Amino acid sequence: MKQEIFRLERVTQIIDGVTVLDNFSMHIFKGEIMGLLCLNDHGKEALIKLFCQNVPIHYGHVYLEENMVNNYEHSSMSYNPVAVIERQSRLVENLTVVDNIFVISKGFKGYLINSNFLNAKLKLLTKDLNISIDGNELVFNLSPFEKCVVEILKAIVAKVKLIVIRDISNFISTADLKKIHKIIRYYTKQGISFLYICNHHEEAFKICDRISIMKNGKVIKVLNKSEFRDEVIASFSLDFSHIDFPLVSRESENGILKFQNISTDNIKNLSFTIQKGECVVFLDMNNTVLTDFIELINGEIKPLSGQIFFKGVNYTKTLKHLKNNICFIQENPIQSMLFKEMSYIDNLCFLANKKLSFWCPMKNIQKSVIQEYEKLIGEDIYASDIKNLTPKSLYNLVYYRVHLYKPDIVILIQPFSDADMYHRHHLVQLIDQLRKKHITVIILAVSISDCLVVANRLMVIEQGRLQKQYSSEKFSYLRANL
Amino acid sequence: MKKRDDKNILRKIMAIRGMGQVITVAFGLVVLCIVFGILNPVFFSNRNIANLLRQIAPILIIGIGQSYVLITGNIDLSIGSVVGMSCMVSATMMTKGVNPWVAVLITYICCLAIGIINGQLVANCKLPPFIATLGTMTIARGIAQIVNNNYNTDSIGAAAKGFRDFFYYGKNFGVFNTIWIAAVLWIIFNFILNKTRTGRYIYAIGSNIEAARLSGVNIAHITTTAYVVSSFCSCTVGLITCAISGMGTMDAGNGYEMYAVAASVIGGVSTLGGQGILLGTVIGASIWGVLQNGLQFAGAPVAIRNIAIGVIVVVSVLLDVIIRKGRPIRKKKNITTVNKAEIKA
């Protein structure tokens, strides 16, 4: 008989008058990988917190190893033996790997630190995983994948019962994700349970034993392994396939952006040409070249060799001048790219102001912008405080700001990460709007996510080199294999 | 084979947190010594070197305390006032006929209380460390003034000869006791910082306080420990000051908090927390001492000395910020390797 580790029984939690968890039930067995597919973000944060800490709930019960640890009558606020692995690392960057795994841990009893002893313990711990880690390496120097491994090891040493893996494919490359899955499977055999939270069913199908589908803080369906089929999921997900793409403009030899044998510390001899109006996805399989790519375009670093052409002109030595023609939309832009103290219209015109002369009457400009964009944005354009707007409206703001500025190229960094299904669907439409204005779109990603829905071309980069290129006709084949 | 071992040792040394910056600063110290030696050969005389080391010792001691606090990501502005308080409290008691060693013990207790208050205000009451220690700075200075009714004390007298010898005038193995005190304190606190769990927790709090909290580190306890170490060091320097002058002066330790920050920061301790080693504090305090001493020999006025030290502090902090910004995003080589054949399978 399977041993139960965690059980949430008809849990309802209301925070600030909003029902974040609605009659939520879930049980996780020992050594099981339970998937959680969130159709929207509602309740996700509250659920993770509830797993970690016995916070007050309005109805229901929480059981840990069949002992009730939390119920609607009494919540002790105590912590459960649960570790969360997410983008925001919980490691101390200035300490070494062994310090993080063994010393900065609740269970560490010794007072004196013996690095050799701890390194030996680490070797023992990693022996069966086929992993070799230098215990004396500072965590700061590790890659996201390596940090993730260290966090798993730290959780194992701390003897947690459940490890919550949250949206890991947003910051771990496709190649590294396979390695992480292998480690997860190893520890499930040792009796550790995992809650694998992700946005894409394709990802969950590969690793999970069962999958709960959550929407608006409620489990709407639990899938067993035998039900892991696209058609089962189809009834719960939005249809992305209907979106039409504007045609790419006529190809020219130099295109709008051309890299010719570009090399940096991490990029090796990269050559490609992007046409005006095209949408190209760069899939960085090892998560090593994106930073270099951004810094190159931004003029922060210079290539070690090779040349960069923009509209046929060689910009290799004057990369900083590209800034006026190329825009960036960062990852999780509603957090990172908006000015919370400014009004909606000030935010919207922020980039476009660069094109205006100092003496231009701002009020008149803003009035005409409102006239033009009100039909696209709606009433929100008049908002003086953007903090209370919905994420959808804030995504509008970010993308229409670029739409208004009309750069030649916009570079989107992991546009679909941290966005739930509804937001991803909306993002596809926003990217489409940019393309209708003949803005070239470059998407930089470490996981494929929904990028293929909008792309004309996919370039796969492995170990800093361009390995393969796929045109949109071959995407269906790719979806099955990546 | 031997060459390979040497390389490994060098690699190990360079892998120590902040060692690169310490080596850079040490190189600067050597250059300063050579320049001052050329300007005035007396700089390298035995007598001057002994004096220089005695000058450096108190700065090193308060630098150790400040380094502890800075590594936790906080700051202690009360150091100078605690030095003054320690000097006045001990001297007043000694002039009133209290046994010098009993006076020393009571002084330590008073000063450690300031450290505990600092720690509690910062960690438990969540006051910004700048404001909390600014408050205790004024309080400690007030105690220093009130303890002898707003007067400097009289001479602590012949009964305190043993005390004065222990803290300043005495020698052991040909080296002044002040230098021994500094060396012993450095060894103890360096050991705690590098080889014990408390030391790791101090770095952890300064580097990622949330991660430390989630890992079960008692933030309030460790922060208070750092402030108590700082107060302990300040108290020791106060006693040394008392031993030097043989009396208690109300303005003792004025501006010492700045010297402590200077010694730590020049030596590579980050004001942002989580980084720095006490070897750097030794170099930082030495640069401070050499600059003071060397510029004095070169005939530079006090104002110029202050300007020089100020400039060096600003440049050091700037270097820290630049180094933090410019840290490579990824290291060149992956330390983790997984059996590729197995993954493919």
Going by pLDDT thresholds of 50, 70 and 90, the confidence category of residue B216 is confident
Residues of chain B with C-beta less than 8 angstroms from the C-beta of A149: 336
Distance CA A147, CA A97 (A): 9
pLDDT at B2 over 70: no
The answer, yes or no, to whether ipTM is higher than 0.85 is: no
B26 touches chain A (CB under 8 A): no
Give the distance from CA B311 to its chain's centroid.
Answer: 19
- Tell me whether residues A91 and B214 touch, CB distance under 8 A: no
Alpha helices in A317-388 (DSSP H): 333-336, 344-348, 362-377
Of A327-331, A473-477, B89-93, B337-341, minimum mean pLDDT range: B337-341
C-alpha distance from residue B27 to each of B9, B288, B295 (Å): 20, 14, 19
Q: For the residues A291-317, what does the mean pLDDT come to?
A: 84
**CA-based angle B99:B105:B109, to the nearest 5?**
140
Chosen for mutation from A92, A119, A129 (greatest number of chain B CBs closer than 10 Å) is A92
Q: Do residues A314 and A307 lie in contact, with contact meaning Cβ atoms separated by under 8 Å?
A: yes
Going by pLDDT thresholds of 50, 70 and 90, the confidence category of residue A83 is very high
Distance CA A397, CA A404 (A): 10
Sign of the alpha-carbon dihedral angle for A354, A355, A357, A360: negative
Give the distance from CA A428 to its chain's centroid.
Answer: 16
Look at the block and give the residue holding tokens 């659920």: A47
Which of A311, A282, A482 has the alpha carbon at shortest distance from A409?
Answer: A311
Q: Do residues B265 and B313 lie in contact, with contact meaning Cβ atoms separated by under 8 Å?
A: yes
Q: Give A236's contacts (C-beta < 8 A, 6+ positions apart).
A: A39, A213, A215, A220, A221
Identify the architecture of domain A257-481 in CATH. 3-Layer(aba) Sandwich (3.40)
Residues of chain A with C-beta less than 8 angstroms from the C-beta of B338: 129-131, 179, 182
- DSSP H or E run through A194: strand A193-198
pLDDT tens by residue, A360-389: 777 888 889 999 999 989 999 999 889 889
Distance CA A469, CA A282 (A): 9
Q: What pLDDT is attached to residue A340?
A: 84
At A282, give phi and psi (nearest 5°): -100, 115
A4-234: CATH class: alpha beta
Q: What pLDDT is attached to residue B331?
A: 41
Which comes out higher in pLDDT, residue A351 or B69?
Answer: B69
- Tell me whether residues B207 and A95 touch, CB distance under 8 A: yes
A97 is written with which tokens?
């790997």
- Tell me whether residues B207 and A105 touch, CB distance under 8 A: no
Going by pLDDT thresholds of 50, 70 and 90, the confidence category of residue B325 is low
Which of A93, A110, A130 is closest, CB to CB, to B197? A110
Which of A188, A192, A162 has the alpha carbon at shortest distance from A79?
Answer: A162
Q: For the residues A164-183, what does the mean pLDDT come to?
A: 90
- Domain range annotation of chain B: 53-324
- Tell me whether residues A93 and B208 touch, CB distance under 8 A: yes
Residue A192, strand partner residues: none
Which of A92, A94, A141 is closest, CB to CB, to B331? A141
B333 touches chain A (CB under 8 A): no
Which of A92, A143, A146 is closest, CB to CB, to B212? A92
- Tell me whether residues B15 and A136 touch, CB distance under 8 A: yes
Residues of chain B with C-beta less than 8 angstroms from the C-beta of A288: 330
DSSP code, position A264:
-
- Domain range annotation of chain A: 4-234, 257-481
Which of A51, A111, A38, A117 has the alpha carbon at shortest distance from A80?
Answer: A51
- Tell me whether residues A108 and B208 touch, CB distance under 8 A: no
Going by pLDDT thresholds of 50, 70 and 90, the confidence category of residue A31 is very high
Going by pLDDT thresholds of 50, 70 and 90, the confidence category of residue A471 is confident
Q: Do residues A445 and A170 lie in contact, with contact meaning Cβ atoms separated by under 8 Å?
A: no
Which of A92, A112, A134 is closest, CB to CB, to B203? A92
Distance CA B311, CA B300 (A): 16
CATH number of B53-324: 1.10.3470
A175 is written with which tokens?
């190649």
Q: Is A349 helix (H, G, I), strand (E, B) or coil?
A: coil
pLDDT at B15 over 90: no
- Tell me whether residues A142 and B327 touch, CB distance under 8 A: no
Which of B217, B275, B343 is closest, CB to CB, to A104? B217
- Tell me whether residues A92 and B207 touch, CB distance under 8 A: yes
Which of A130, A136, A146 is closest, CB to CB, to B334? A146
